[in-house]
């Protein structure tokens, strides 16, 4: 019997939440819209962060430092350099390109213009070593190591591109993190204010319910669930909004990012994972905001 | 021999530096109808609120159902309050709920099912002759109808003690008599009634136990008393 009573109490709590929301629709709308804005920003930031991560991975998968050898370099010299690079622990892959292979690559690149390679022989092109590092931040170190090798004539290192990618992703993370952090705090405070306001205007009702023998939980739970409802509804609509934004912009962005695999179109699995992330975050934000209000105003 | 249901032992209550109740000793037996009379600010409402454990006494001990209510933990307080019923001068009905919903809330907080609530509320509203008004809101009711609704809400949970704080204070004499007859009937079912009032006519006509309070002290306690506050 007690279990049934508990069930009725739970059902009644959700019934009260529905009534509270219906009776103050403008406050409910304002709270949900703030949550929508917060979670839309969060989702956009997460999508940009995931995209920039893919771009980083793409650059990291490419040979990023190319050491061009002097003509008299022997295979033993190359082996020694490869060993010393492997010992740094920063190298993901190494690929030696002989003069003949370099000539073949040159020919392939200029296949449409035979006059470009008719006068060129394999001897004219240097052999080289292509190095990929584990992270882009290791590139400077590898560049320094290779530059000091006597067998190396020059080192090709797209320093500006790497620097730009690193700075951009770092900026995205910092600015996005600060904006999202600010919006999360703002959302918690908005929920705290709205629920606090509702507690104040329902003071009479709360007093009566307590005198009638309502448990502390029964009095508090509808307010807490109300805050959670605003946050989760806001998060869910923001997720739908972000999906629409992605769907709209994918045809424009896809050709520009076609070189980078796995970035567009965004996988539905990733979107589902993001939905889980924002719904969980929303429940936490809603709970913190409304619980703080209940603790503060319902003593 | 009747059993004591409420017992005050040397109770004092201070609000800041103001002494509202001073060294009160009082015993109410189960099934009694007790009037608390006295001028405004005498301490009548404070006595009722102390029984409800809305306040803790500054000193002394209050025994209700033979248990010191100071020992009731906050988690157990709702269960204690379910044994009490409350009626107020200003009715304290919820303006955004109908008569039916105002009465139903007393059972909702206890976890009764919807079927039980509908059955019980219908029964009590018919008994109190306010069933036809069940879909009206408090501001659409007369004073008497509002107080009947409030009393229905107070007793639907079948409390052992009914605490009524000037329930006829805002009502005309005729309506007041209707409310008193209702409280009298509730008392006849076995519910102990503690009622604070200024209504001389009612107190003198009913000839029930009358406790006179003045300046926070009990100055008179008579079994078939009259309204005397001096």
Contacts of B110 in chain A (CB under 8 A): 5, 213
What is the pLDDT, as a whole number, of residue A1?
46
What are the structure tokens assigned to A105, written together? 């690559």
What is the pLDDT, as a whole number, of residue A170?
83
Min Cα–Cα distance to chain B from A178, Å: 42
SS (H, E, C) A97-110: ECHHHHHHHHHHHC
Interchain proximity A213–B110, CB inside 8 Å: yes
Answer for the pair B144, B169: CB distance below 8 angstroms, yes or no: no
Q: What is the pLDDT of residues A49-96, one digit of tens each?
A: 888 878 877 776 666 788 898 888 888 888 989 998 888 888 888 889
Q: Binning pLDDT at 50, 70 and 90, where does residue B17 land?
A: confident
Let me know the angle formed at the C-alpha of B156 by B96 and B188, rounded to the nearest 5 degrees.
135
Min Cα–Cα distance to chain A from B53, Å: 10
Min Cα–Cα distance to chain A from B86, Å: 7
With CA atoms as reference, the chain A residue closest to B94 would be: A205
Contacts of A8 in chain B (CB under 8 A): 111-114
What is the pLDDT, as a whole number, of residue B12?
93
Answer for the pair B175, B143: CB distance below 8 angstroms, yes or no: yes
Task: Find the DSSP H helices in A151-215.
Answer: 159-201, 203-211
CA B119 – CA B105 distance, rounded (Å): 14
Verdict on whether the full-model pTM lies above 0.90: no
Kindly tell me if the per-residue pLDDT of A3 is higher than 60: no
Interchain proximity A216–B81, CB inside 8 Å: no
What is the pLDDT, as a whole number, of residue A108?
84
CA A242 – CA A234 distance, rounded (Å): 12
Q: Is the ipTM of this complex over 0.90?
A: no
Contacts of B75 in chain A (CB under 8 A): 215-216
With CA atoms as reference, the chain A residue closest to B114 would be: A8
At B128, is the secondary structure helix, strand, or coil? coil
CA A169 – CA A48 distance, rounded (Å): 9
Q: Among B79, B80, B92, whose Cβ lies nearest the Cβ of A208?
A: B92
Q: What is the pLDDT of residues A110-132, one digit of tens each?
A: 877 777 777 777 778 888 998 88
Task: Give the strand pairing for A65-69 and A128-133.
Answer: antiparallel
Kindly tell me if the per-residue pLDDT of A4 is higher than 60: no
CA A198 – CA A203 distance, rounded (Å): 8
CA A29 – CA A31 distance, rounded (Å): 5
Interface list for chain A against chain B, based on CB atoms closer than 8 Å: 4-6, 8-9, 12, 23, 204-205, 207-216, 218
Interchain proximity B78–A8, CB inside 8 Å: no
Residue in the block written with tokens 């209050």: B62
Q: Among A4, A207, A218, whose Cβ lies nearest the Cβ of B109?
A: A218
Pick the residue of B95, B97, B109 with the most A CBs within 10 A to test the interface with A by mutation: B109
CA A241 – CA A144 distance, rounded (Å): 47
> In this structure, what is the dihedral angle of CA atoms B15, B21, B27, B32, given to the nearest 10 degrees?
-80
CA A288 – CA A184 distance, rounded (Å): 11
Answer for the pair A60, A136: CB distance below 8 angstroms, yes or no: yes
Interface list for chain B against chain A, based on CB atoms closer than 8 Å: 52, 54, 74-75, 78-82, 86, 92, 94, 96, 105-106, 108-114, 153, 157
Q: Catalogue the long-range contacts made by B56-60 (C-beta closer than 8 Å, 24 or more residues apart).
A: B57/B11, B57/B12, B57/B13, B57/B21, B58/B12, B58/B13, B58/B14, B59/B10, B59/B11, B59/B12, B60/B8, B60/B9, B60/B10, B60/B11, B60/B12, B60/B23, B60/B24
CA A132 – CA A145 distance, rounded (Å): 14
Nearest Cα to Cα of residue A273 among A243, A247, A250: A243
Min Cα–Cα distance to chain B from A286, Å: 24
Nearest Cα to Cα of residue B90 among B38, B138, B42: B138
What is the pLDDT, as a whole number, of residue A51?
85
Q: Among A6, A207, A213, whose Cβ lies nearest the Cβ of B109?
A: A213
Residues 6+ apart with CB under 8 A from A274: A43, A46, A47, A239, A242
Q: Among A5, A205, A211, whose Cβ lies nearest the Cβ of B111?
A: A5
Contacts of B74 in chain A (CB under 8 A): 216
Give the number of other CB atoms < 10 A from CB of residue A283: 16
Answer for the pair B94, A205: CB distance below 8 angstroms, yes or no: yes
Min Cα–Cα distance to chain A from B79, Å: 6
Contacts of A209 in chain B (CB under 8 A): 105, 109
Where does residue B4 rank: exposed (0-12), middle (13-18), buried (19+ CB within 10 A)?
middle
Q: How far is CA A50 from CA A56, A263, B91, in A?
A: 10, 8, 60
Q: Among A8, A204, A211, whose Cβ lies nearest the Cβ of B86?
A: A211
Q: Binning pLDDT at 50, 70 and 90, where does residue B30 land?
A: very high
Give the number of other CB atoms < 10 A from CB of residue A40: 21
What is the pLDDT, as a whole number, of residue B25?
93
- What secondary structure letter does DSSP report for B191? -
Q: What is the pLDDT of residues A216-266, one digit of tens each?
A: 889 999 999 999 999 999 999 999 999 999 989 888 888 888 777 778 788
Q: What is the CA radius of gyration of chain B?
A: 17
Q: What is the pLDDT of residues B161-206, one digit of tens each?
A: 999 999 988 888 888 898 899 999 999 999 999 999 988 889 999 8
């Amino acid at each position: 019997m007690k279990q049934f009573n508990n069930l009725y109490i739970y059902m009644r709590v959700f019934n009260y939440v529905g009534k509270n929301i219906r009776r103050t629709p403008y406050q409910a709308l304002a709270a949900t819209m703030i949550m929508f804005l917060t979670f839309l920003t969060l989702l956009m930031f997460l999508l940009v962060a995931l995209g920039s991560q893919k771009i980083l991975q793409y650059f990291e998968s490419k040979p990023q430092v190319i050491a061009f050898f002097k003509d008299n370099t022997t295979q033993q010299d190359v082996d020694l350099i490869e060993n010393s690079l492997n010992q740094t622990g920063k190298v993901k892959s190494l690929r030696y390109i002989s003069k003949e292979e370099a000539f073949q690559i040159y020919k392939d690149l200029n296949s449409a213009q035979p006059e470009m390679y008719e006068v060129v022989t394999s001897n004219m092109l240097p052999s080289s070593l292509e190095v990929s590092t584990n992270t882009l931040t290791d590139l400077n170190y590898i560049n320094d190591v290779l530059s000091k090798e006597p067998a190396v004539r020059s080192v090709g290192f797209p320093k500006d591109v790497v620097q730009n990618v690193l700075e951009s992703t770092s900026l995205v993370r910092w600015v996005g993190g600060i904006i999202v952090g600010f919006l999360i705090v703002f959302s918690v405070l908005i929920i705290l204010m709205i629920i606090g306001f509702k507690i104040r205007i329902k003071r009479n009702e709360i007093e009566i319910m307590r005198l009638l023998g309502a448990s502390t939980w029964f009095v508090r739970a509808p307010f807490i669930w109300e805050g959670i409802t605003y946050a989760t509804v806001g998060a869910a609509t923001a997720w739908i909004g972000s999906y629409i934004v992605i769907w709209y912009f994918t045809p424009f962005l896809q050709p520009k990012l076609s070189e980078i695999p796995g970035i567009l179109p965004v996988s539905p699995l990733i979107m589902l994972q993001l939905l889980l992330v924002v719904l969980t975050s929303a429940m936490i934000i809603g709970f913190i905001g409304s619980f703080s209000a209940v603790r503060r105003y319902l003593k | 021999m009747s059993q004591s249901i409420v017992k005050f032992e040397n109770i004092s209550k201070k609000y800041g530096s103001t002494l509202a109740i001073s060294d009160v000793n009082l015993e109410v037996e189960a099934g009694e109808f007790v009037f608390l009379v006295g001028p405004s600010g005498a301490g009548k409402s404070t006595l009722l609120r102390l029984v409800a454990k809305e306040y803790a006494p500054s000193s002394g001990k209050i025994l209700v159902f033979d248990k010191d209510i100071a020992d009731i933990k906050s988690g157990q307080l709702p269960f204690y309050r379910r044994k009490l019923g409350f009626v107020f001068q200003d009715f304290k009905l919820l303006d955004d709920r109908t008569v039916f919903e105002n009465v139903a809330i007393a059972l909702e907080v206890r976890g009764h099912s919807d079927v039980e609530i509908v059955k019980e509320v219908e029964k009590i509203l018919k008994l109190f002759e306010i069933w036809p008004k069940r879909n009206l809101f408090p501001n659409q009711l007369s004073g008497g109808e509002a107080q009947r609704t409030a009393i229905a809400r107070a007793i639907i949970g079948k409390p052992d003690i009914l605490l009524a704080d000037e329930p006829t204070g805002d009502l005309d004499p005729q309506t007041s008599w209707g409310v008193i007859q209702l409280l009298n009937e509730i008392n006849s079912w076995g519910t102990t009634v503690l009622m604070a009032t200024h209504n001389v006519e009612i107190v003198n006509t009913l000839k029930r136990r009358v406790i006179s309070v003045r300046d926070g002290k009990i100055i008179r306690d008579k079994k078939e008393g009259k309204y005397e506050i001096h």
